[in-house]
A = this chain, B = another copy of it.
Amino acid sequence: MSAAPHSLRRADDAAERDLAQTLVQFIRDEIPLARAMDLSLQCFSADRISLAVPLAPNVNDKGCAFGGSLVSLMTLAGWALVELALRRRGDDCDVFVGESTVRYLAPVWSDFRADAQLAPGADWATFFDTLDGRGRARIEVVCIVPGEPGKSAATLSARFVAKRRASH
């Protein structure tokens, strides 16, 4: 834990929240489907981000969450985790998903959220070192949609690739 005075931590927190809110607004502005899903920022920290959606625009023919909405929200949460880490560092990259494995474990009958964090064994230091050396790096992210207490309703394991943009 940092030993920063309380006021400084609060200023950092506010800057962090601005960065995350700006990113979520960017997603809603630039990706029509994310806007159709009515995606919003639930909470975040340096290691984690949660995005939430209401059920109504994300429902399927059975009245529970549409599989496409579950996987889209988890993919966006993973993408946001990586994008946010890069923006925090001032890095200008294109981030895209390369591959993912999705498990649909239980139906979701209410508004839902996806929590994204790095996969076990993945770390930012290695990712940033590779990015600095090669202008391109990949990182593994895991996301879950919480279901019944202590259980996941859906999980995603995905590899994201960041490519530094050519400077102008």
Q: A residues engaging B (CB < 8 A)?
A: 26-27, 30-34, 36-37, 56-62, 66-69, 71-73, 75-76, 79, 94, 96-104, 107
A59 in complex: contacting residue of B27, B31, B98, CB < 8 Å: B31
Shortest 8 CB-CB distances between A and B: which pairs? A68-B72, A30-B61, A36-B36, A67-B97, A100-B102, A32-B57, A101-B101, A71-B71
Residues of B within 8 A of A75 (CB): 67-68, 71
Q: Are A33 and B33 in contact (CB under 8 A)?
A: yes
Instruction: Write out the residue numbers on chain B whose beta carbons fall within 8 Å of the beta carbon of A67.
Output: 72, 75, 79, 96-97
| Secondary structure dominating the interface of A | helix
Given contacts A100-B101, A101-B100, contact A57 B33 (CB under 8 A): yes
Question: Quick one: copies of this chain in the complex?
Answer: 2
The interface residues of chain B lying within 8 Å CB-to-CB of A33 are 33, 36-37, 57-58, 66, 68-69, 72
A61 close to B98 (CB less than 8 A): no
Task: Find out whether the CB atom of A102 lies under 8 angstroms from the CB atom of B99.
Answer: yes
User: Chain B residue with minimal CB distance to A61?
Assistant: B30
Chain B residues near A30 (CB-CB < 8 A): 60-61
Given contacts A68-B71, A72-B71, contact A61 B102 (CB under 8 A): no
Give every chain B residue within 8 A of A99 (Cβ-Cβ). 101-104
